[in-house]
Chain A
């Protein structure tokens, strides 16, 4: 049974449960053993046993930063080591209500700050395609687990690309919904105006199913709206009449192999009846600069609560101030400290307008660029990442090089719009991601287009690991 289950999508596994071919408990146990056997560093916690009521859907791997009652939820940070929340995130609760049980908590960059998963307080994750390479980040554990077949599906969060970029580097599907589509209640916050929960899955249909269960207005999150209308299962096989605007193909950092795969995908769009045109997003190149002011500014406030007093472990010694200092010294990693410093500085008196104020203006400009593009085209497409998975340690010494990993993914969360990454080919034996973005709440149309392309591309490669 096991090999066969591994080859099935989550939706197909759910059909097997419904048909009585496999019991939910058996299926949970199958995946539990897979997850427990993970040797890539994908998991920070795996369920001890199948729950009594194992639900009606395959179990789900959940990024560590989602609070799950009684289950370690540390956002990949040592400062939250030992924290077991007294409540469950709405998004996870929605999945539980739909019949999915929590399989485990996946590794991530600490507080979702990173693009390689190397900033985890609990060690890096290896890319199942090449163990010397990163899985991307910050939802690196979720992406690696789905790609390596240690989870049937997973959820993560995307702030500047943290779902799409690891999905791209691991050869799976990752969707960042419209800001407000999914409740943020219970997601340990990084940058509150950007963070959004979404699926990491083996195919587009699984992503649509998860999104349907995740989304919805939540009275516990004032910024949540849900998605108007249904999320039907994507069925399109053609792209007739659809207009795709492509951008960023001339960027100097774009790897030739990645560009080739993306161009081949553009050709497929035309084969399927879609139109492709080049578009300009003149302010997109300022996206990284704006993002790395706004996100750290919000993070500097969001992370102020971690002082060793309330939730988890603390470093002892000396008076109250020394305890605070030592706890943060020991508990926060280098990148987190860097961003707290950058964010505090950007908000400080006398600098606020120059940094935070300017960054917000750029954010508005980028949103306007995208809105203007959507007057001409239905979708804005690009590579998800300029490169395939890079080597562990390759960019850790150079934060700016690391930040540029998010070049293609940052404009969408800045504008609050949805985008998906689907695998579109291999370059040097490693997966390449193709990004499709649409206007706010156009998830159903994005999923449909992605579905047609997915069929046409027929990406069947699996990691050797």
Chain B
């Protein structure tokens, strides 16, 4: 009995839906005036409202509604004219009121899409406080003491639920990246998975390939990177396939994926599922977006990555992969577009220099933290394209631009990096041929790779200012003529 893991041998197809929680980057919390927390001392950003003191009432944060509307619009949702909040009742130490204010039967937005994936709903809610469990496990089971930090409690969240339109773990991770890039571009969230400002759960089921009925789904909770999301889903698909292969039945449950061990453990079985006793939140009025609110949200939407990738590919004739990369990293995309500045013929080279040379030099560093100006960068690329300097010289200039800024031509002059004059180069090439008779003999005997020694001598002499291809062409000419 061998587990069925080869994709082409699969008789089952996975059906995957994703639930995403996004912490909004508003100034204040969802229902009170406390500032959002960025690692402050525990329980310093709290007030009677977010601590759930008796008698307090929530008041909806208008900025959070604005961001949530932007998100719903970015995902092409229908906006509900009157969406309402519900109380989701569950008793847990991270929830001071004993209920979470969330949206239930009438969410802010419905029936949207992002790329090829349909969005089921977009709704608003408040985050719970943070529980910190003392003890080796770091989880509530086996902890000796647990403490609560209410700084996070009440942070505005938007929950996005997709339709089960994804059919592989890789596709789910890819969708997650597009979603992250889109939200980042909008500036509504830090979308940092490790810090928890972007959280993803996956609903996974499998069914016989080609059938339409849905199998029993399980829910994978809180995977904190796209890699773990992908691996977790893969592990769960394999587990379900194994169960069905062995003649068993998949049980509805909530699972935790441990990326270290690769194990899936049960968090909650179907029997342990909560009855949340939802009912309309009587302390809040419905969210009824006015035309003004809708217009403001629409106008606040920048060009989103999917659209930008398409435009860069079409208008700047960039390869799809490059266009996508620039669209996903919007600071790079902005930089390239500013550098090209209408000279579309230069776009390809500028983009290549960004994605190869510049990217390698930046590493984790933000583009904005360098002295590099788009105009200077464009000038540099032009110098190389027009062969006024060699690629090597160009790299040297780039290093200077990143650290010190300045004008490329001035740097070329100051460092003497200008391409060797042809007379000068003629002379150097002739001398190198004369100095390497052995190599010349070998080349004439058909050992073409021997040219390396002569090219190397020229490059040493010119300190890299000469173009390697050009030098090679000149050497061959001389020897053939010779």
Binding site for B on A (CB under 8 A): 65-67, 73, 75, 80, 83, 85-87, 89, 184-189, 191-193, 219-223, 297-298, 300-301, 303-305, 307, 309-311, 320, 344, 347-349, 352, 356
B139 in the interface, Cβ–Cβ < 8 Å? no
In chain B, residues 254-296, which have Cβ atoms closer than 8 Å to a Cβ of chain A? Answer: 275, 277-279, 282-285
> Could you write out 30 A-B pairs with CB less than 8 Å apart?
A66-B55, A73-B55, A85-B55, A185-B55, A185-B56, A185-B57, A186-B55, A188-B54, A192-B282, A220-B57, A221-B59, A222-B57, A222-B59, A300-B89, A301-B89, A301-B98, A301-B99, A301-B277, A303-B98, A304-B97, A305-B97, A309-B93, A310-B51, A311-B54, A320-B93, A344-B277, A347-B277, A349-B275, A349-B277, A352-B278
Interchain CA distance A326-B89 in the complex, whole Å:
21
Q: A347-B279, A349-B277 are in contact. Are A85 and B284 (CB under 8 A)?
A: no
Q: How far is the CB of A225 from chain B (nearest CB, A)?
A: 10
Q: How far is the CB of A353 from chain B (nearest CB, A)?
A: 11
Beyond A85-B53, A223-B283, 13 additional pairs, beta carbon < 8 A: A73-B55, A184-B283, A220-B57, A222-B58, A222-B60, A222-B284, A222-B285, A300-B89, A301-B98, A304-B98, A307-B91, A310-B51, A352-B279
Instruction: Check B54–A298 contact: CB distance below 8 A.
Output: no
Binding site for A on B (CB under 8 A): 48, 51-60, 87, 89, 91, 93, 96-99, 275, 277-279, 282-285
Interchain CA distance A191-B283 in the complex, whole Å:
10
Q: How far is the CB of B145 from chain A (nearest CB, A)?
A: 11
Q: How far is the CB of B359 from chain A (nearest CB, A)?
A: 49
Most buried by B among A66, A184, A185, A219: A185
Q: How far is the CB of B13 from chain A (nearest CB, A)?
A: 32
Partner of B55, one of A188, A223, A303, A309: A188
Q: A87-B48, A222-B283 are in contact. Are A187 and B53 (CB under 8 A)?
A: no
Instruction: Check A86–B59 contact: CB distance below 8 A.
Output: no
Instruction: Check A305–B96 contact: CB distance below 8 A.
Output: yes
Partner of A220, one of B59, B91, B96, B279: B59
Which residues of chain A have C-beta atoms less than 8 A from B93's C-beta? 309, 320
Partner of A348, one of B51, B60, B275: B275
Most buried by A among B51, B58, B279, B284: B279
Which residues of chain A have C-beta atoms less than 8 A from B284's C-beta? 222-223
Interchain CA distance A297-B97 in the complex, whole Å:
15
Which residues of chain B have C-beta atoms less than 8 A from A300's C-beta? 89, 277
Which residues of chain B have C-beta atoms less than 8 A from A67's C-beta? 53-55
Partner of B87, one of A66, A301, A307, A320: A301
Interchain CA distance A222-B53 in the complex, whole Å:
17
Which residues of chain A have C-beta atoms less than 8 A from B91's C-beta? 304, 307
Which residues of chain B have C-beta atoms less than 8 A from A347's C-beta? 89, 277-279
Instruction: Check A304–B282 contact: CB distance below 8 A.
Output: no
Instruction: Check B279–A356 contact: CB distance below 8 A.
Output: yes
Closest to B277 in A: A347
Which residues of chain B have C-beta atoms less than 8 A from A187's C-beta? 55
Which residues of chain A have C-beta atoms less than 8 A from B48's C-beta? 85-87
Which residues of chain A have C-beta atoms less than 8 A from B55's C-beta? 65-67, 73, 85, 89, 185-189
Interchain CA distance A122-B51 in the complex, whole Å:
26
Interchain CA distance A221-B57 in the complex, whole Å:
6
Which residues of chain B have C-beta atoms less than 8 A from A348's C-beta? 275, 277
Q: How far is the CB of A71 from chain B (nearest CB, A)?
A: 13
Which residues of chain B have C-beta atoms less than 8 A from A193's C-beta? 282
Most buried by B among A307, A347, A356: A347
Closest to A309 in B: B93
Which residues of chain B have C-beta atoms less than 8 A from A297's C-beta? 279
Interchain CA distance A186-B56 in the complex, whole Å:
5
Interchain CA distance A418-B294 in the complex, whole Å:
36
Interchain CA distance A220-B55 in the complex, whole Å:
11
Which residues of chain A have C-beta atoms less than 8 A from B53's C-beta? 67, 85-87, 311
Instruction: Check B283–A192 contact: CB distance below 8 A.
Output: yes
Instruction: Check B52–A219 contact: CB distance below 8 A.
Output: no
Which residues of chain A have C-beta atoms less than 8 A from B51's C-beta? 310
Instruction: Check B89–A80 contact: CB distance below 8 A.
Output: no
Which residues of chain B have C-beta atoms less than 8 A from A307's C-beta? 91, 98
Closest to B97 in A: A305
Partner of A85, one of B54, B60, B282, B285: B54
Interchain CA distance A307-B99 in the complex, whole Å:
13
Q: How far is the CB of B52 from chain A (nearest CB, A)?
A: 5
Q: How far is the CB of B85 from chain A (nearest CB, A)?
A: 10
Instruction: Check B57–A304 contact: CB distance below 8 A.
Output: no
Which residues of chain B have C-beta atoms less than 8 A from A89's C-beta? 55
Which residues of chain B have C-beta atoms less than 8 A from A189's C-beta? 54-55
Closest to B274 in A: A349
Which residues of chain B have C-beta atoms less than 8 A from A184's C-beta? 57, 283
Which residues of chain A have C-beta atoms less than 8 A from B58's C-beta? 222
Interchain CA distance A75-B58 in the complex, whole Å:
20
Interchain CA distance A188-B56 in the complex, whole Å:
8
Closest to B98 in A: A304
Q: How far is the CB of B113 from chain A (nearest CB, A)?
A: 31
Which residues of chain B have C-beta atoms less than 8 A from A303's C-beta? 98
Interchain CA distance A144-B236 in the complex, whole Å:
67
Which residues of chain B have C-beta atoms less than 8 A from A320's C-beta? 93
Interchain CA distance A414-B99 in the complex, whole Å:
24
Interchain CA distance A75-B53 in the complex, whole Å:
13
Q: How far is the CB of B135 from chain A (nearest CB, A)?
A: 15
Interchain CA distance A189-B54 in the complex, whole Å:
7
Interchain CA distance A223-B58 in the complex, whole Å:
10
Instruction: Check B59–A301 contact: CB distance below 8 A.
Output: no
Interchain CA distance A80-B54 in the complex, whole Å:
9
Which residues of chain A have C-beta atoms less than 8 A from B96's C-beta? 305, 310
Which residues of chain B have C-beta atoms less than 8 A from A185's C-beta? 55-57
Interchain CA distance A89-B99 in the complex, whole Å:
22
Interchain CA distance A303-B89 in the complex, whole Å:
11
Interchain CA distance A66-B91 in the complex, whole Å:
25
Q: How far is the CB of B91 from chain A (nearest CB, A)?
A: 6
Interchain CA distance A298-B284 in the complex, whole Å:
13
Closest to B89 in A: A301
Which residues of chain A have C-beta atoms less than 8 A from B277's C-beta? 300-301, 344, 347-349, 352
Q: How far is the CB of B445 from chain A (nearest CB, A)?
A: 88
| 9 tightest Cβ-Cβ pairs between the two chains A and B | A304-B98, A193-B282, A347-B277, A192-B282, A188-B54, A67-B55, A186-B55, A188-B55, A349-B275
Which residues of chain B have C-beta atoms less than 8 A from A85's C-beta? 48, 53-55
Interchain CA distance A309-B52 in the complex, whole Å:
12
Closest to B90 in A: A304
Which residues of chain B have C-beta atoms less than 8 A from A191's C-beta? 282
Q: How far is the CB of B100 from chain A (nearest CB, A)?
A: 11
Q: How far is the CB of A298 from chain B (nearest CB, A)?
A: 6
Interchain CA distance A191-B277 in the complex, whole Å:
16
Q: A185-B56, A348-B277 are in contact. Are A304 and B99 (CB under 8 A)?
A: yes
Partner of A298, one of B57, B60, B97, B282: B282
Interchain CA distance A344-B97 in the complex, whole Å:
15
Interchain CA distance A309-B93 in the complex, whole Å:
9
Q: How far is the CB of A174 from chain B (nearest CB, A)?
A: 21
Most buried by A among B55, B87, B279: B55
